[in-house]
Structure 1
């Protein structure tokens, strides 16, 4: 079981100005909120095929904390099944 660290209050109060630099706030199980001048982005770090990769989960507030955690769980399930979530995302984008 993962330990979720972030709260809605922490996310709302986090800003680039507050930290003065690009910052990552960890939520556990590889997921973090990446804060930069242009906004707040959900990302997930994972390893696949011996390489470290990053998966974009969405932009806050369009993707709230609960949905980001669900997307992280879905991605982890794919990885456990031997499927790279970034490849699935590329296939979905190509199908559009």
Structure 2
């Protein structure tokens, strides 16, 4: 039986201190916060598309809040359900913003 994951609350995230090695705090549905020894906190998601495992990055905490990370997770899960790789979707969005002189708008 799968282990039940209790969703994170902002206080848990704020209280998470760096350790000697990288560790994670899980929120559920693949979303987790990776805490590095330097103290940086990065939102990530584990998922599978067509049987292949992938890891997505959503940004650093507190730049990306818990609510924003959950929204990004839900959007990624919708794309995966449609058979679309969220990493490629994100990349094509960036390519679409590129101006004529090769700089991003």
Pair in the same fold by TM > 0.5: yes
Larger relative strand fraction: 1
Q: TM-score, normalised by structure 1?
A: 0.88
Instruction: Give the alignment's TM-score, normalised by structure 2.
Output: 0.81
Structure 1, gaps ≥5 residues long: none
Q: CA RMSD in A?
A: 1.7
Distance, in Å, in 2 between the alignment partners of 1:4 and 1:91 is 34
User: Aligned equivalents of 1:77 and 1:58: distance in 2?
Assistant: 19
Which runs of at least 4 in structure 1 moved beyond 4 Å after TM superposition?
A: none
* Higher helix fraction (1 or 2): 1
Give 1:14-93 correspondences, 5 Å limit: 14-16=16-18, 19-36=19-36, 37=38, 39-93=40-94
| Counterpart-to-counterpart distance in 2, 1:38 and 1:50 | 33
Find the residue that maps to 1:62 and give its secondary structure.
coil
